[in-house]
Amino acid sequence: MRRYCVLPVVIIDDCALTTAILKSIAGARGERPVFPFTEVGPALEFLRGTRAGVICLDYTMPDMDGITLTREIRRHTQNAAAPIIMLTGTEDPSIKAFALEAGATAFLRKPVKLPIFKELLGRILPVAAGPEAGLYAEAQAG
């Protein structure tokens, strides 16, 4: 299991441009590792071994929708309590209710207004740090 001095931001969105923009905002000051993923499988594998400070994920992705992914993260990774920000360009108002019911912490519509995203991260990340945030170790086999 990997642990970081500062819990990382994980971004999961099938649009590489969106992940690049969000990564530049989340990691702007260089204080926090940011891990972008454009595919769900590698992201889930990463989350099974790494505690995240916040997870930003898209609702509409080809291999798994954001609601299902949120439930999967909550049930099968060590990030059951990690804040999740769900993003969507979909206009259906019921998606927000479904996202929050599935366990999302916050919900933003695309295109994401970058000052709002930055402010939301600023509010969520200090709370997400928790007592283990000061640790830096990588578990060794044996």
Percent of the chain with pLDDT over 70: 85
Q: Does the structure show a pLDDT above 80 at 20?
A: yes
- Which tokens belong to 42? 């590698």
Please state which CATH class domain 9-127 belongs to. Answer: alpha beta
The answer to which of 32-41, 70-79, 130-139 has the lowest mean pLDDT is 130-139
